[in-house]
Structure 1
Amino acid sequence: MRVVRFHAPGDVRIEEAPEPVPGPADVKIRVRACSTCGTDVKILNFGHHHIVPPRVMGHEIAGEVVEVGGDVTGWAPGDRVQVIAAIPCGRCAECRRGRMTVCPNQVSMGYHFDGGFAEYMVVPHNVLDVDGLNRIPDGLSFAEASVAEPLACVLNGQSLAAVGEGDDVVVMGSGPIGCLHVRLARARGAARVFLVDLNRERLDLAAGLVRPDAAIRAAETDVVDAILEFTGGRGADVVITAAAAGAAQEQAVRMAARQGRISFFGGLPKDKPVIALDANLVHYRELSIVGANGSSPRHNKDALRLIAGGAVPVADLITHRLPLDRALDAFGIVARGEAIKVTVEP
C-alpha cells in the first residue's frame, strides 16, 4: 500500500509499505479521508519532538473498518468510523477528573502511532480504551467526518471561553480553524461574529464561505479600533486568537469588553512565546484569559453530531480533495493559504 511517511525535516516521502496487521485489541481501517492542517506543514518543515521517524503522518481521519482484533467487540467490517487524534490515557489524575485534554500521558495519531495518510491503518487499542473510535452518522461523508477532529478542538476552545447567547465574538485568523470558530459561535447563539486576518486573499475566501458580520483586514486597519467602533466602544464579549501571532493575543486583550473572555487558541512559535500583557486591563475589566489544547474523545462525538445535524456545516469548507499521491501538493496548498480545508482521499 502507499503511505505518506516523515523521515526528517524536509524529507516526507510517498512510498510503498506493507499493509499493517492489527493486534488482538486493535481495529484496522481502510482510510477514506484524512484532512490536512497547518500542523502537517510544520511537521514537514521542522519535524516534531514526539515523532520518531519514520512515521506515517495524518491525524484527521475517517474510514471504514476492514478487520478487528480477536479481543475487540462492538465493531465489524463495514462500519464507518472517525478516529480521535489526541489520545488521553484515561487513568491519570487529570483524566479521572474529566480533564482529558490536559492528560500528561497523551499520545497522538500520526505522532506516536502511524496516521491516516495511508490506504490502510491500524487504530490502536489506546483509542478504543478511551472510546475514541466513533461511528459516522448516516448521510455524513467520510470527508466531512474527517473535519470532526479540528471541530472538536474548536468546541473545546469555545466551551472553555463560554461562548453563548448574545455574545459579540471576534475570531482572529481566517484559516480552517477560524472558519470553524465562526460557524460554531453562530451555532452557540452568538449575536455577531467578526473575522480578522492579515492576508486579504485568505480573508476574502473565508468570508465568502462563512459570512461573518464583518471581515477586517488587519494589514489595512487598526483591528482594536475597528472592533470598538463595531461594538459602540464596548468591545467584544469573546476574542479567539486562531492564529499563531503574539500581536493578535496582545490586541485581543485590548479589544475585550468588561468581563470579556479571551481564548489563546493558537499556540505561539517556540522561539517567541512571550507577549506584552497589560495586566491592569485584565484586573480592572475583570477579563478572563483561557488556553485551549486539543480535544477530548467526548468533543469528537459532539463535533460529529454538530456536523451531521447541520448546526456546523463543513462540506463547503473542503475546498480541495486530492488523492494520496498528491499529498505533498496538499501540504503546499495549505502552506500558501490557497485553500480552507484540503482533504486527502486515499
Structure 2
Amino acid sequence: MKVARFYAPGDIRLEELAEPQVSAGEVKIRVRNCSTCGTDVKISRSGHPNMTPPQVMGHEIAGEIVDVGDGVEGWAAGDRVQVIAAIPDGTCPDCLAGRQTVCPHQLSMGYQFPGGFAEFMIVPREVLRVDGLNRIPEGLGFAEASLAEPLACVLNGQELARVGAGDVVVVIGSGPIGCLHVRLARARGAARVILVDLNADRLKKAADLVKPDLAIASESTDPVAAVLEATSGRGADVVITAAASGAAQEQGLLMLARRGRLSLFGGLPKDHPTITVDSNLVHYRELTIVGVNGSSPAHNKEALELIASGAVPVTDLITHRLPLDEVLEAIEIVARGDGIKVTIEP
C-alpha cells in the first residue's frame, strides 16, 4: 500500500509498504479521508519532539473498517468511523479527574502510531481503550467527518473560555481553525462574532464563507481600536487567538471587556514563547487568560454530532480534495494559506 512517511524536516517520502495486519484488540480501516492542518506543515519543516521517524503522518482521520481483531466488540467490517488524534491513557490522576486533554502520558496518531496518510491503517488498542473510535452518523461524508478532530479542539477551547449566549467574540486568525471558531461561537449563542487577520486577502476568503458580523484587516487597521469602536468602547467578552502570534495575544488582552476571557489557542514558536502582559489590567478588570491543548475523546464525539446536525457546517470549508500522491502539495497549500481545509483521499 502507499503511504507518506516523515523521515526528517524536508524529507517526507511517498513509499510502498506492506498492508498492515490486525492483531488482537485492534481494528483495521481503509482510510477514506485524512485532512491536513498547520501541524503537518510544522512537522514537515521542523519535525516534532514527540515523533519517532520514520513515521506515517496524518491525524485527522476517517475511514471504513475492513477487519476487526480478536476481543474487539461492537465493531464490524463496513462500519464508517472517525479516529481521535490525541490518545489519553485514561488511568492517570488527570484523566481520572476528567482532564484528559492534559494527560501527561498522551500518545497521538501520526506520532507514536502510524497515521492516516496511508491507504490502510491500524486503530491501536490504546484508542479503543479510551472509546476513541467514533461511528460516523448516517448521511455524513468521510471528508466532513475527518474535520471532527480539529472541531473537537475548537470545542475544548470554547468550553474553557466559556463562550455562551449573548457574548461578543473576537477570533484572531482566519485560517481553518479560525473559521471553525466563528461557526462554533454562533452555534453556542454568541451575539456577535468579529474576525481579525493580518492578511486582507485571506480574511476576505474566510469572511465570504463564514460571514462574521465584522471583519478587520489588522495590516491596515488597528484591531484593538476597531474592536473597541465596534463595541461602543466596552470590548469583547471573549477573544480567541487562533494564530501563532505573540502580538495577536497581546492585542487580544487589550480588546477584552471587564471580566473578559482570552483564549491562547494558537501556540507560539519555541524560540519566541513569551508575551508582555499588563498584570494590572488583568487584576483590575478581573480578566481570565486560558490555555488550550487538544481535545478529549468526548469532544470528538460531540464534534461529530455538531457537524452531522448542521449546527457547525464544514462542507464549504473543504476547498481542496487531493489524492495521496499529492500530499506534499497539500501541505504546501496549507503553508501558503491558499485554501481553508485540504483533505487527502487515499
TM over 0.5: yes
Aligned to 2:313: 313
Aligned to 1:4: 4
Deviating 4+ runs (over 3 angstroms): none
Kindly provide the CA deviation profile for residues 279-319 of structure 1, in whole angstroms up to 9, marking residues without a partner as x: 11100000000001000000000000000000000000000
Aligned to 2:116: 116
Q: CA deviation at 1:89?
A: 0.1
Q: CA deviation at 1:247?
A: 0.4
Aligned to 1:84: 84
What secondary structure, in the 3-state scheme, does the structure 2 residue paired with 1:238 have? strand
What secondary structure, in the 3-state scheme, does the structure 1 residue paired with 2:134 have? strand
What secondary structure, in the 3-state scheme, does the structure 2 residue paired with 1:121 have? strand
Aligned to 1:154: 154
Counterpart Cα distance in 2 of 1:116 and 1:201: 31
Q: CA deviation at 1:201?
A: 1.4
Aligned to 1:261: 261
- Which aligned pairs between 1:27-38 and structure 2 lie closer than 5 A? 27-38=27-38
Counterpart Cα distance in 2 of 1:15 and 1:208: 39
What secondary structure, in the 3-state scheme, does the structure 1 residue paired with 2:82 have? strand
What secondary structure, in the 3-state scheme, does the structure 1 residue paired with 2:293 have? coil
Counterpart Cα distance in 2 of 1:116 and 1:222: 41
What secondary structure, in the 3-state scheme, does the structure 1 residue paired with 2:289 have? strand
Q: CA deviation at 1:182?
A: 0.0
Aligned to 1:46: 46
Counterpart Cα distance in 2 of 1:297 and 1:112: 17
Aligned to 2:57: 57
| Alignment length (residue pairs) | 346
Aligned to 1:14: 14
Counterpart Cα distance in 1 of 2:20 and 2:247: 45
1:276 and 2:276 matched: yes
What secondary structure, in the 3-state scheme, does the structure 2 residue paired with 1:137 have? coil
Counterpart Cα distance in 2 of 1:194 and 1:295: 24
Q: CA deviation at 1:142?
A: 0.1
Aligned to 1:296: 296
- Which aligned pairs between 1:303-342 and structure 2 lie closer than 5 A? 303-342=303-342
Counterpart Cα distance in 2 of 1:77 and 1:298: 24
* Structure 2 letter corresponding to 1:239: V
Kindly provide the CA deviation profile for residues 89-126 of structure 1, in whole angstroms up to 9, marking residues without a partner as x: 00000000000000000000000100000000000000
- Which aligned pairs between 1:166-245 and structure 2 lie closer than 5 A? 166-245=166-245
Aligned to 2:163: 163
Q: CA deviation at 1:21?
A: 1.2
Q: CA deviation at 1:209?
A: 0.3
* Structure 1 letter corresponding to 2:133: L
* Structure 1 letter corresponding to 2:331: F
Unaligned 5+ segments in structure 1 are none
Kindly provide the CA deviation profile for residues 219-267 of structure 1, in whole angstroms up to 9, marking residues without a partner as x: 0010000000000000000000000000011011111000001100010
Counterpart Cα distance in 2 of 1:252 and 1:64: 42
What secondary structure, in the 3-state scheme, does the structure 2 residue paired with 1:81 have? strand
Counterpart Cα distance in 2 of 1:52 and 1:307: 33
What secondary structure, in the 3-state scheme, does the structure 2 residue paired with 1:306 have? helix
Q: CA deviation at 1:71?
A: 1.2
Q: CA deviation at 1:2?
A: 0.3
Normalised to the residue count of structure 2, the TM-score between the two structures is 1.00
Counterpart Cα distance in 1 of 2:215 and 2:14: 38
Q: CA deviation at 1:216?
A: 0.5
* Structure 2 letter corresponding to 1:37: C
* Structure 2 letter corresponding to 1:282: V
User: Could you say what the CA RMSD is over the residues aligned between the two structures, in angstroms?
Assistant: 0.4
Unaligned 5+ segments in structure 2 are none
Kindly provide the CA deviation profile for residues 31-88 of structure 1, in whole angstroms up to 9, marking residues without a partner as x: 0000000000110011101111110000000000000101111100000000000000
* Structure 1 letter corresponding to 2:304: L
Q: CA deviation at 1:22?
A: 1.6
